[in-house]
Amino acid sequence: MFKYQFDWSIVLSGKYFEWLLSGLYTTIQLSIVSIIFSFLLGLLIAVMRMSNIRPVRWFAHGYLEFFRNTPLLVQIFFWYFGSYKILPAVINDWLNRTNFEFGAAVIALTIYTSAFIAEDIRSGVRSIPREQLEAARSSGFSYVRSMQYIILPQAVRITIPPLINQFLNLTKNSSLAMTIGVMELTYQARQVESYTFKGFEAFTAATLIYVVISLVITVMVTYYDKIVLSPMKAR
């Protein structure tokens, strides 16, 4: 009977360890950049979704339905294979000279996740009493400024638990970027497997690394929540 020889040393040191490490580095980069952009874009879409101006509201609604209801993998392929056909040559040249795979993955992850974040923030905004908006407006703040200084800061604090969820999803979803050749953690684990046939070790290592990343995100956001939020909740 075939007997599998475990060899953990290959993922703990040497060339393959370095591959995994560089994959981890790319995953972190991809996740952080996409988290920041998707959060900002999510805020913008949430505000547009609640706008008094109908076409703006409709656009945001269409955006949400469109990007929430199509598979992320299709969106990644669209931005990677499809977008250069509609972009001007100048931009394409620039993208080709820089890291196009990485850029396409950031665009896809950002847009996809921002749709979910926007909905979470919107429900956070709806839980803020409308008197808060009245108080801000009667001080002379415009609608947008009221949102910026008074409503959104409160709504985002309330939205932190679902936001952690979206950030974790984004980090895990970033593994799909391997399909367009972004050399992130999953891609590298796959490489290690192809070269060594040690699939169990390689993917166990990758799994553990994903768990650690997720825990770090959770701890960081919760810590922020405790420090910033506690005075507001105190009674």
Partner 1 sequence: MITFKGVHKWFKDLHVLNDINIHVNQGEVLVVCGPSGSGKSTLIRTINKLEPINQGTLIVDGMDLSDSKVDINKLRAEIGFVFQQFNLYPHLSVMRNITLAPIKIRKMSKRDAESQAMTLLERVGLVEKRNAYPTQLSGGQQQRVAIARALAMKPRIMLFDEPTSALDPEMIGEVLLVMKDLAQSGMTMIVVTHEMGFASEVSDRVVFMDDGRILEEAAPDEFFKNPKHERAQQFLKEVLSPMH
**Residue 141, interface with partner 1 (CB under 8 A)?**
yes
Indicate the residue among 117 and 151 with the shorter CB distance to partner 1.
Answer: 151
**Residue 53, interface with partner 1 (CB under 8 A)?**
no
Which tokens is 125 given? 């905004």
Fill in the amino acid letter for 222: T
Residue in the structure block whose two tokens are 């850029």: 103
DSSP summary character for residue 39: H
Which tokens is 86 given? 């509609």
Beta strands of 14-156 (E only): which ranges?
A: none
Cα distance between residue 195 and residue 17, in whole Å: 13
- The residue from 21, 74, 135, 216 that contacts partner 1 (CB under 8 A) is 135
**Residue 131, interface with partner 1 (CB under 8 A)?**
yes
The least distance separating partner 1 from the CB of residue 151, rounded to whole angstroms, comes to: 10
The least distance separating partner 1 from the CB of residue 184, rounded to whole angstroms, comes to: 37
Fill in the amino acid letter for 93: D
Residue in the structure block whose two tokens are 């609604």: 61
**Residue 225, interface with partner 1 (CB under 8 A)?**
no
Residue in the structure block whose two tokens are 């999510």: 42
- The residue from 134, 207, 216, 219 that contacts partner 1 (CB under 8 A) is 134
- The residue from 9, 142, 194, 207 that contacts partner 1 (CB under 8 A) is 142
User: In the stretch 155-174, what mask flags binding to partner 1 with x, by CB under 8 A?
Assistant: --x-----------------
The least distance separating partner 1 from the CB of residue 223, rounded to whole angstroms, comes to: 18
* Angle, vertex CA 115, rays to CA 58 and CA 107, nearest 5: 110
Report the Cα 37 to chain-centroid distance in Å.
Answer: 8
**Residue 153, interface with partner 1 (CB under 8 A)?**
yes
Task: Kindly list the residues in this chain that would bind partner 1 in the complex (CB under 8 A).
Answer: 129, 131-132, 134-142, 145, 149-150, 153-154, 157, 231-235
